[in-house]
Amino acid sequence: MKPSRTLKTIYAISSALFLSPLLTSCASPTETVVQTEYILPPAGLVVPCEKPAVIGTWPEVVTEDIPKLKSALGECATQADEYLKWRKQREDSG
């Protein structure tokens, strides 16, 4: 094989290797679209908590247990109410 032919072959191969990555950069970028889909639990699964009026008969029980009970029920009711409001917004917008 002649040296000039070998150089031409090497030049052709190296040109193809080095120029091919440049060709891919000319392509238009792909735009990614993200869409959130909310999957809601059945409507009757979460219901509002009721806060019962607790009437204690012993002063010791009332002063110790009632504030704790009302606090726990208040947190439950707040979480359920927030969820139900969120669900209503999703149903109204969708």
Please report, for residues 51, 76, 86, the alpha-carbon distance to residue 39 in angstroms, rounded to integers and kept in the order given: 29, 22, 12
Rounded mean pLDDT, 50-55: 64
Q: Is the pTM of this model over 0.85?
A: no
pLDDT above 60 (res 8): yes
pLDDT above 70 (res 33): yes
Domain residue limits, the chain: 3-25+44-93
